[in-house]
Structures are given as C-alpha cells and as structure tokens.
Structure 1
Amino acid sequence: MRRTGTETEQPIRKRRLKTKPVLVVLGILLAGNLLWFTLWITKDGGSVKSAGTGEQVASVGKETITNKEWVAAMEERVGREALRELVNQKVMEAAAKQYDIKVSDSEIDLEIAMLRAGGEGTGELTGEPLRNQVKSQLIFEKVLTKDIIIKDKAVKDYYEKNESLYDVKPSYRTAAIILKDQSEAEKALGELDNGSSFEALARERSIDRVSGSLGGELGYISESSENVDPAIIKAVSGMKAGETAGPIALADGAVALVKVTDTAEGRLFKFKEVKDQIRRELAIEQLPQSVTPEAFWEEFGAEWIYGKE
C-alpha cells in the first residue's frame, strides 16, 4: 500500500539532524576514519602485506611485535566496520539495479554541500571515496522511500519556510594545532617556519587529542558550524587553500594555529534543485522505524566472515 505524507511544522534542519546521523553522517565519519587509518599505516610505502606474518614490525626492548599480531589487532579494531561498509555499498549497488534507481552527480553535490553547510563535516573522506559513500546512502534512502507519496504543496511549503537552509555559505576545510598558551604557539610557529609539517606538528603538539590524532583535521567549517570556536571560524573566513593563520586566542584560554587545506564556494540552491531531496526527507519522516542497509543483506544474498548480523 502506498502511503501519503502530509505537511507538518517540524523544521527541515531538525529533521535532517534526526535522520542523518544514523543514515549518513556516522557512516561518512566512520568510513573517513577507517580510510585515514589505512592511509596512515601505508603512507611510508609499506603495506600490511609487505611483511611476512612472523616478521617483526616493532620492538620494545627485547620484546617484538610481529606483522601477524599487528594485522590481528587492526582487524579486531576496524576490520568488521570496514568490511560492513564495503558490503553495504555492494548491496546498494545491487538494489539500484533491482529497483532501477539512479543517482545523479548534482544530487551528490547537493548532499555534500548540505553536510558541509550544516557543520556536520565529512571526516577525512574526500574526492571519489566520499562521493561513492554519499551515492550509496542516496540509493538507500531512495529504496526506503520509493513507495511513499509526498504532496507537492508540502514540499513547496517546506522550501519557502526554510529557504535560508539552502543558502549555503562558503566552507573551509581546516586543520588546527591547539596549544596551551602564546609561548607554545610561538614555538610551533618557529617549527613551521623551519619546514615542519603542519599535520605532524598537530599530532605531536596539539592538546586537543581528537583533532590532533587526525593531524589537526576539523573538516569543513563555515559560519554556521557548531562546536568550533568562533575565533577559528572568523580567522579562516576568506582564506585560500594552503594558507595558515595564528596565533588565535580561543574562548577557553588556549591558542590555535590554523591551516586551510581546501575551500568550497557558497551558493543558493533554488527550489527545483532541492525539491527531490526535500521530498525524500519528508518521506523518511513517514517511516515507522529506523532501518539500516543490513536489512537488505538477505534479499541480495550478502554474506560475510562474521556470520549473521
């Protein structure tokens, strides 16, 4: 039976925050962190397969750590979720063929722009890996909502009431080194001037453990970003990729050095560009319960080494 959605008063932003953390943001951030971890362990030209299972990869005094122990630890920590993401993408590719679902480049562009505009970020994931992840998610949403009818008037009304949400401001992919005081910031600046890597210095010196462990990565931020010190937002506004700024005094008394690694232009999305997305968001609200891609594994014959979900 086809179901009909009706107009409600809940703002789009609240709906997005209700649905996206489960359906998009956590998946993107997870995939981004997994990708970063993989790149980190291979960035010096090595790989998990480059050493024999009994070959030493590290030592502490006379105690050694073998490649086999290393790989086992990585699989235990990230292997299950990394494989889950790969299986889910393949399942969604099969679903797209089964239900003749298409996802255009413009739809992917819109979704990424809205994620960045909402301050939700995209983790370490960029380029084609990010686009593939978003495409998989859009297929999933289209499968879930293909039989739900949303009236044109409801879609138009939501856009008119929330048009400002689609006025996407410029965003800046930012890395930061957070230091305890001005003196520490001056020392860090000196090291940067002498050729030290911003990413390496963030890992070594930043007192913010979360961003520091990611080389200072804060993701894309804009004037609407939450959980980012306003002084950092103000500092990066108007900067170009590759530029650095600081020291910047923060509200908690700490000091920051920042670097912009990429920028995304702002733009106003017109109704015709976002009407399908709004319709899909409203349709998701009509679902009786949360659903994950794993619900489709059996239908498309998905199996993995961890047994049944």
Structure 2
Amino acid sequence: MSKKLLLSIIVILLITNIASLTFWNNGEQTSVSEEDEGVPAIDAKKPVATVGDVEITYENWMSSLRSNHGEKQLKTLIDHQVVSQLAEEKGIEIDEKVIDREVAMLTAMQGVMTKEELDKAEEGWRKDIRYRYQLEMLLTEGTEIPEGDMESHYQTYGNQYNVTPSMQLSHIVVEDEETANKVVEELDNGASFNMLAKEYSTDEETRDDGGYMGYIFTTSQFFPTGYEDVVADMEEHSYSKPFEVGSGYAIVYLHKRLSAIDFTYEEMKPYIRSELAMHELDQTLNANPLWEELDIEWVYDE
C-alpha cells in the first residue's frame, strides 16, 4: 500500500474521531465542528467555556488536546489501521461467536445499564475485541505450537471459554398482594423500579440497591425458586406481574438475559494457538513490530 493512501486513511480517521475540520480561509484558521450523537455542535468562533470573566477559546482547548493527548491518540488510530490492513491482507478473521463470548463476559461485569448505554458500550467492545485478537494472531504468525499442547490446554481450561446462561435481575418483595398491586400500578404510571424497591421492598439484602440482584446463573442454587418460570417469557427491560413467593409477593425486573455459548476444540484452536504462542514468545500486546510491514509516516517523525 502506498504512503499517500495510508496517510489519507489516517487523516480521514482523525477527522472522524474529533468531528472537527480545520482549514485556512484568507489567511485565517477556521474550525467547523459537526454534531455527533449525544454531543452538541461546537462553534469554534465562540468560547467553549467561561470562568468568571475569563474565556477559554476553542483554540486554547484544541492546543491543550494536541499537546497532552495528540501523539497517543494518533498512534492508537495508526495501530488500529495497521492491524486492520494487515489482517485483511492475510485473511485473518475473528469468529463472531468468539466476540459474542467476550461481549457477554464484559456485559456480566456491568451494573444496571439502559439499552442505549449497553448498545453504545457493546459497539466499542466489539471493535476492541476484534482488534486484540487480530493483533495477537499477527504478532504470533509463523509460531508453531504442538497439537498436543493445544489439546491439553483445551482439556484443562475449555470450560472457561464457555458462557453459562444467566439473567440480570432486580426484584421488589412485599408482604401482601394488595401492596404488590399498588407497586405495579405505580410502575405502570412511570415510577422508577429502583425507587419503589427502596420504598416498598422487604428484602433487606437488595432494598438499598434498588432491588438489584445482579447476574445470576440460571443453573445456580442461588437462583430464587419460581423466578425462572416467571422471567422465561419476559422481554428484557420489563417487569413482571406480582407472583407469590415464600415471604409474600414479588415483582421481578429482567434487565438482561445472557444465553449459553459453548465452544468445541476446533472452534477455539486458532485462539488457543495464538494465546500459547504469545506466552512462548513472551510477547506484549503491542502493534509496534507491525509498523515495519507498512510504509508509515506521521507528524511525530519530524
């Protein structure tokens, strides 16, 4: 790939990343900022902030960003572009099922998130996961790992690659059906499940956390009796009708459902190979060695 084409791609990525285009007009530098999702458009001719009578200009802000973060951010963009181009050139593709597994594991470590928040986070996770696996495979290309070592690794750690089905739940437990119906009525009228749990729930372990129970494996002995049948047909981000439990009545909220993901040895073999090869080479996950495979010029070379 030519230097001119690679530099063009990097420039496009930079413009997209900061959503700002700077150009010269009759000897004056002018900046135009495009509105990004959830971020208001910025008028570069106006102060970006004021503190008392002191204005912080757009130019002050951009200069600070370039000085403090510019090189690191540009290197990250180049690293990702290098890995993407080399992976495409060498036919290195990452199975979506493997990415789904990593996303599920990251999701299970989060607290309560709205669908919009989770969708946005997942988009970033998927890019990072694909980059990491492709980088690992590029760095270990040509390193031979004995079949027996890979099979032994899978036999020992294979279960750790699988995802056990789980549900992210909150609940409100009350003493009687009348109170339960009152809670549901308030929910129907738009009240917060979190706030109602703090107000009404008799479950001392979860009440102060808005009834939040976390992710619970559906096969776990700690999964509350009767809850799985109730949530089986529920949609995510919805609450149930009141149902009877040992200590009264409960209303359960299903935040997220994580399905089972299982892998055979053949499915995981390419990833086990690169994992073991990274260990054998004592290699750090850094794209620097790959820069030599492409013609790269950047402003910090000057």
TM-score, length of structure 2 as denominator length: 0.52
- Whether the 8 Å contact between 1:169 and 1:223 is mirrored in structure 2 is no
Q: Which runs of 5+ in 1 are unaligned?
A: 1-34, 175-192, 199-220, 225-232, 245-258
Describe the superposition over 1:221-261 as per-residue Cα deviations: whole angstroms up to 9, x where unpaired.
8569xxxxxxxx99xx98974369xxxxxxxxxxxxxx986
In structure 1, which of residues 30, 46, 65 is the aligned counterpart of residue 56 of structure 2? 65
| Superposed counterparts of 1:1-309, under 5 Å | 45-47=39-41, 50-52=42-44, 54-113=45-104, 119=109, 126-170=121-165, 222=215, 241-242=236-237, 262-307=256-301
- Whether the 8 Å contact between 2:135 and 2:285 is mirrored in structure 1 is no
The CA deviation at 1:306 is 2.8
Q: Structure 1 residues 157 and 261 mapped into 2: Cα distance closer, same or farther (>3 Å)?
A: same
Cross-structure match for 2:197: none
Q: What is the identity, as a one-letter code, of the residue corresponding to 2:145? A: I
Structure ID, larger Rg = 2
Q: What is the identity, as a one-letter code, of the residue corresponding to 2:50? A: S
Q: What is the identity, as a one-letter code, of the residue corresponding to 1:58? A: A
For 1:59 and 1:106, the matched residues in 2 are separated by 49
Cross-structure match for 1:212: none
- Whether the 8 Å contact between 2:101 and 2:261 is mirrored in structure 1 is no
The CA deviation at 1:171 is 6.1
Describe the superposition over 1:77-117 as per-residue Cα deviations: whole angstroms up to 9, x where unpaired.
54443322221111012212443323332343344345557
RMSD between superposed Cα atoms in Å: 4.4
For 2:167 and 2:298, the matched residues in 1 are separated by 39
Describe the superposition over 1:245-297 as per-residue Cα deviations: whole angstroms up to 9, x where unpaired.
xxxxxxxxxxxxxx986543233333332222222211111114425112222
Cross-structure match for 2:182: none
Q: Which runs of 5+ in 2 are unaligned?
A: 1-16, 21-34, 112-116, 170-188, 195-213, 218-222, 240-252
Cross-structure match for 2:207: none
For 2:110 and 2:142, the matched residues in 1 are separated by 29
Q: How many residues align?
A: 204
Describe the superposition over 1:2-21 as per-residue Cα deviations: whole angstroms up to 9, x where unpaired.
xxxxxxxxxxxxxxxxxxxx
Query: Aligned with 1:301: secondary structure?
Result: coil
Q: Structure 1 residues 287 and 172 mapped into 2: Cα distance closer, same or farther (>3 Å)?
A: farther
For 1:133 and 1:127, the matched residues in 2 are separated by 10
Q: Structure 1 residues 78 and 151 mapped into 2: Cα distance closer, same or farther (>3 Å)?
A: same
For 2:216 and 2:66, the matched residues in 1 are separated by 39
Q: Structure 1 residues 148 and 173 mapped into 2: Cα distance closer, same or farther (>3 Å)?
A: farther
The CA deviation at 1:300 is 0.9
Q: What is the identity, as a one-letter code, of the residue corresponding to 2:47? A: Q
Describe the superposition over 1:148-173 as per-residue Cα deviations: whole angstroms up to 9, x where unpaired.
22222222222222233133234678
TM-score, length of structure 1 as denominator length: 0.51
For 1:44 and 1:109, the matched residues in 2 are separated by 26
For 2:167 and 2:64, the matched residues in 1 are separated by 35
Give aligned-pair identity as a percent.
Answer: 25
